[in-house]
Amino acid sequence: LVSRDNHPERSTVTVRGVPIGPDTVTLIAGPCAVETPRQTLEAAEMAKAAGATLLRGGAYKPRTSPYAFQGLGEEGLRILADVREQTGLPVVTEVVDAHDVALVASYADMLQVGTRNAQNFALLQAVGAAGKPVMLKRGMTATIEEWLMAAEYIAQRGNLDIVLCERGIRTYETATRNTLDISAVPVAQRLSHLPVIVDPSHSGGRRDLVLPLSRAAVAVGADGVIVDVHPNPEQALCDGPQALVDGDLEALAAVMRDFPPLL
């Protein structure tokens, strides 16, 4: 269903009126985690200032350590919905458990499946049946074939509004958190008709790499970029070191502006 063999035209997925696909390069930005109403609104305003048309933000955080901040849950979803009201930015947020899909879908405009759940087939089937567009991160140890098969689980439930997100894979390199597999973008675009975006924040894990990796993503023909921004990263409860700050926004906007999509 997601193969380009049976569907030669590349698809556009529309999230509450915002297109992600071959005719545009969509910027999605926001906080890694929803912490407070004020922090989320400020991050959303930063996202808008950089030219973002969709707001990201995690209410359910899949953390490596069980002692790390796990997210605000439904309270975080309510904050995201309020910030959507205030800014007009549709909301992309992660769901980590099949039992929460209906709840998250009742607030979100797009459901995100994270790298750690990329082969959680029960979750993939549940989001496939939820009636909302889905952003599917690549599993950090998944081959491109496995990633596309994960998308197939969603599509099989009748939902073809799927955006693939390359977010770095685990390699022997330790200088970055994960290794951004930039070649995965054109490879996945050739194998599948689905849009492919890049997450330079979670792949590098370092603020200083976000702009260069965003540039690489846009130059290679990605259909969008999803980045973390935070009004005060030193105080962030999650992934502060990778969040862009106010001073980075103009440069980020320029990256998105200066590189038109490949034809």
Binding site residues, ligand PEP, CB under 6 A: 32, 58, 62, 94, 114-115, 137, 167, 199, 202
Find the residue with minimal CB distance to ligand PEP. Answer: 114
- Beta strands 134-137; 162-166: pairing state: parallel
DSSP reduced 3-state for 246: helix
Kindly state the smallest distance separating residue 140's Cβ from ligand PEP, in Å: 7
- List C-alpha distances in Å: 86 to 14, 40, 73, 109: 21, 11, 20, 15
Asked if residue 236 lies in contact with residue 243, where contact means CB atoms within 8 angstroms, the answer is yes
Tokens standing for residue 161:
């509004």
Q: How far apart are CA 20 and CA 102, in angstroms?
A: 23
Nearer to ligand PEP, 155 or 165 (CB): 165
Q: How far apart are CA 87 and CA 18, in angstroms?
A: 14
Kindly state the smallest distance separating residue 132's Cβ from ligand PEP, in Å: 17
Kindly state the smallest distance separating residue 202's Cβ from ligand PEP, in Å: 4
Nearer to ligand PEP, 32 or 150 (CB): 32
Nearer to ligand PEP, 126 or 197 (CB): 197
Task: Fill in the amino acid letter for 147.
Answer: W
Kindly state the smallest distance separating residue 188's Cβ from ligand PEP, in Å: 15
Kindly state the smallest distance separating residue 89's Cβ from ligand PEP, in Å: 16
Nearer to ligand PEP, 1 or 40 (CB): 40
Q: Give buried/exposed letters for 92-112 (b at 16+ CB in 10 A, else e).
A: bbbbbebebbebbbebbbbbb
Nearer to ligand PEP, 33 or 249 (CB): 33
